[in-house]
Amino acid sequence: MDNKRGGHMLIVGLWIAAAYWMLESLLDAFVFGKGPLSVHLFPLNPDELWMRSLAVLLITFFSAYVQRIHSEREDAENALCESKSKYEDLVENANSVILRMSSTGEVRYMNRFGLEFFGFSSKELFGRNVVGTIVPETDTAGRDLIAMIEDIGMNPDRYINNENENTCKDGSRVWISWTNKPIFDGQGKVIDVLCIGNDITQRKQMEDKLELALKEVQEMSLIDQLTGLKNRRGFMTLGEQQLKVADRTREGIRLVFIDLDGLKWINDNLGHKVGDQALIEAADVLRETFRDSDIIARLGGDEYAVLAIDVSPAAPFPSARIPDTLTEHNSRTGRQYELQMSVGVATYRSESKCSIGELLSMADELMYEEKRRRKAARASAKRKSPETSEERI
């Protein structure tokens, strides 16, 4: 190829040189009248011969140089066309969504894979905004995707890598991981954004399932399996959070420590299955007595605790209703035992800055004081009534 091109260049140069030689001879013979044509076609004068030969050589080499530049330009244009064709073929057959959109979200181009993935034709999509076609106005979590598309056009550097929910033509939702590259005009203004996206729907679904499973495991680790109340860990964790909130809001908080009296007697005389039922019933009593917003827990064994939130000092405290609720439960027919509870109530003061554990210990001590008072009262009543030989649970 190069040899043929070189020969062609030489021929062109020789033809131009020959034409120059003939033109020079004709001008000298017929225009300037310097003698017959044969003298000028084959000059004997060394100076004239030298000048003409030098001119012919220059013309020949210059023609060859021009031809070489022209050939190289043709080669470059052919290579560019071939490269462009390969690039277009690569883009069209890539297994990724390739999208070019304006800074306002108008679709300028999408490759074949993207069109097939979203279910649109080029006529249906090109020239329309991505919002309402492949991007919903909000995702399932309520995120404003209209604002996101606007922000991508204004601040593309914030979205070099971005994951968001998209929609197909049939209305199905998919998750795409996008890599975005801004395209600028001569003044440095963003005119378009080149977006390359990969489907991560399955990955997101697995992540959601894993997150849900972890949440369930976490909740199970904070729940007492027998009663469905919070366990000690759940109570301590949520309690510490509520104390921090109370420090900021100055809300009133009271901690109620409850002991289910007589559980040992129930277990020893009626069996542990009945004892478990007593624990469940005690949990029901506390649920009926306190509010849904309060944190109710079984700390372990026969011990319960309630953290009453946003309590007004002037309002009646729910723990005062425990005896009435117990009476209602104990009045039901067919019972083998009576529920009795000892209660201690401690008030949290933000200026004291005590922990949930310290507040729990305060309520525990107050509960045992009540238990001792009740035990002393029963003993006093027993001394006054010696005929009574049985003590009720």
Q: Is residue 364 one of the residues assigned to a domain? A: yes
pLDDT tops 60 at residue 10: no
For position 137, what pLDDT does the model report?
95
For position 160, what pLDDT does the model report?
93
Same structural domain for residues 298 and 338? yes
Q: pLDDT tier at 2 (50, 70, 90 boundaries)?
A: very low
Q: pLDDT tier at 245 (50, 70, 90 boundaries)?
A: confident
Of the candidates 308, 339, 305, 291, the residue with the CA atom closest to the CA atom of residue 230: 305
Region for 353 from its dihedrals, namely left if φ exceeds 0, alpha if ψ lies in -120 to 50, beta otherwise: left
Same structural domain for residues 196 and 246? no
Q: Is 187 helix (H, G, I), strand (E, B) or coil?
A: coil
Region for 127 from its dihedrals, namely left if φ exceeds 0, alpha if ψ lies in -120 to 50, beta otherwise: left
pLDDT tops 60 at residue 387: no
Give the domain extent around 45: 2-92
Same structural domain for residues 201 and 226? no
Mean pLDDT of the chain: 82
Same structural domain for residues 366 and 226? yes
Q: pLDDT tier at 373 (50, 70, 90 boundaries)?
A: confident
Same structural domain for residues 7 and 133? no
CATH code for position 179 = 3.30.450.20
Tell me what the mean pLDDT of segment 167-192 comes to: 93
R_g of the chain computed on alpha carbons: 47
59-106: pLDDT as tens digits: 667 766 766 777 777 777 767 666 665 656 555 667 889 999 999 999
| Residue located via tokens 């035990």 | 375
**Are the CB atoms for 367 and 339 separated by under 8 Å?**
no
Same structural domain for residues 377 and 285? yes
Tell me what the mean pLDDT of segment 342-357 comes to: 86
Tell me what the mean pLDDT of segment 232-261 comes to: 88
Tell me what the mean pLDDT of segment 353-382 comes to: 86
Same structural domain for residues 246 and 347? yes
Identify residue 47 by its one-letter amino acid code.
Answer: D
Question: 212: Cβ–Cβ under 8 A, 6 or more apart, which residues?
Answer: none
Compute how many other C-beta atoms are within 10 angstroms of the C-beta atom of residue 44: 7
Final residue of a structural domain among 205, 240, 257: 205
Tell me the DSSP string of 146-158. Answer: HHHHHHHHH-GGG
The 8-class DSSP code of residue 291 comes to: -
Q: Is residue 64 one of the residues assigned to a domain? A: yes
pLDDT tops 50 at residue 3: no
Geometric angle at alpha carbon 189, from 185 and 193, rounded to 5°: 80
Q: pLDDT tier at 119 (50, 70, 90 boundaries)?
A: very high
The 8-class DSSP code of residue 318 comes to: G
Final residue of a structural domain among 66, 92, 118: 92
Geometric angle at alpha carbon 152, from 150 and 155, rounded to 5°: 105
The 8-class DSSP code of residue 168 comes to: -
Question: 276: Cβ–Cβ under 8 A, 6 or more apart, which residues?
Answer: 226
Between CA 35 and CA 18 the distance in angstroms is 20
pLDDT tops 90 at residue 211: no
Of the candidates 122, 96, 110, 113, the residue with the CA atom closest to the CA atom of residue 193: 110
Q: Is residue 118 one of the residues assigned to a domain? A: yes
For position 378, what pLDDT does the model report?
76
288-347: pLDDT as tens digits: 999 888 999 999 999 999 998 877 665 567 777 888 889 898 888 788 899 999 999 998
Between CA 130 and CA 167 the distance in angstroms is 10
Q: Is residue 109 one of the residues assigned to a domain? A: yes
Tell me the DSSP string of 214-260. Answer: HHHHHHHHTB-TTTSSB-HHHHHHHHHHHHHHHHHH---EEEEEEEE
Percent of the chain with pLDDT over 90: 45
Tokens of 182: 């801004």
For position 37, what pLDDT does the model report?
61
For position 74, what pLDDT does the model report?
75
Same structural domain for residues 75 and 101? no
Per the structure, the count of domains in the chain is 3
Measured torsion, CA atoms of residues 261, 265, 267, 269, in degrees rounded to the nearest 10: -150
Q: Is residue 247 one of the residues assigned to a domain? A: yes
For position 305, what pLDDT does the model report?
95
Task: Kindly report which listed range (4-13, 220-229, 282-291, 351-360) carries the lowest average pLDDT score.
Answer: 4-13
Same structural domain for residues 226 and 361? yes
Q: Is residue 391 one of the residues assigned to a domain? A: no
For position 17, what pLDDT does the model report?
64
Tokens of 40: 């000028």
**Are the CB atoms for 145 and 131 separated by under 8 Å?**
yes
Angstrom CA distances, 193 to 103, 118, 183, stand at 6, 19, 6
pLDDT tops 50 at residue 393: no
CATH code for position 331 = 3.30.70.270
Q: Is residue 119 one of the residues assigned to a domain? A: yes
For position 278, what pLDDT does the model report?
94
Q: Is 180 helix (H, G, I), strand (E, B) or coil?
A: strand
pLDDT tops 90 at residue 365: yes
Q: Residue 287: beta bridge partners?
A: none
Same structural domain for residues 84 and 106? no
Q: Is residue 181 one of the residues assigned to a domain? A: yes
Same structural domain for residues 177 and 324? no
Final residue of a structural domain among 148, 179, 205: 205
Same structural domain for residues 262 and 376? yes
